[in-house]
């Protein structure tokens, strides 16, 4: 829908100052809400049960003591599938070919889910390291919080 605006020419600087201040405040607030605080960069090879157990010493996690957030830079998405409930399970593969199991909860119909189910190139993956104790194994998996595509020129 189109919108119009009429203003006296003498008041244009006043309007410009108002709009600039309003947009600047909204931008700062949006940046604050959309920012992920990353604690460390890991590779698939460093995502081990021993590392997870060392970080679990800092528990319990919650308000005032957030769970560590990691980034896995330069990963490729291997096998990926949508699960019941809209979750997406996948394998993340680092530059050395090492694989790490990962899951994105309720992500199938989001940009994260699309990036996992239809991968195009390498991505940086942010998330948390979690235990994978299914069927008695003592492994780890990566719970995906967000993904950033790596753009090359």
The predicted-structure confidence for 104-149, as pLDDT tens digits, reads as follows: 999 999 999 999 999 988 999 999 999 999 888 889 999 999 999 8
Tell me the domain boundaries of the chain: 40-59+67-149
Whole-angstrom distance, CA of residue 70 vs CA of residue 36:
10
What's 40-59+67-149's CATH class? mainly beta
Amino acid 3: pLDDT: 63
The predicted-structure confidence for 22-74, as pLDDT tens digits, reads as follows: 787 777 666 666 778 899 999 999 999 999 999 999 989 988 899 999 999 99
What stretches of 84-144 show up as alpha helix (H) in DSSP?
A: 111-117
Amino acid 101: pLDDT: 96
């Amino acid at each position: 829908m189109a919108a119009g605006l009429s203003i006296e020419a003498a008041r244009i600087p006043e309007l410009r100052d108002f709009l600039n201040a309003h947009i600047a405040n909204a931008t700062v607030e949006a940046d604050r809400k959309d920012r992920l605080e990353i604690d460390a960069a890991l590779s698939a090879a460093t995502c081990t049960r021993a590392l997870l157990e060392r970080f679990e010493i800092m528990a319990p996690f919650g308000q005032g003591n957030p769970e560590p957030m990691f980034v896995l830079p330069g990963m490729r998405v291997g096998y990926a599938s949508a699960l019941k409930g809209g979750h997406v399970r996948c394998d993340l593969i680092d530059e050395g070919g090492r694989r790490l199991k990962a899951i994105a909860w309720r992500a199938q119909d989001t940009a994260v889910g699309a990036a996992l189910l239809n991968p195009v190139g390498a991505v940086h993956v942010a998330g948390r390291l979690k235990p994978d104790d299914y069927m008695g194994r003592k492994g780890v998996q990566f719970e995906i919080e967000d993904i950033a595509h790596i753009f090359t020129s």
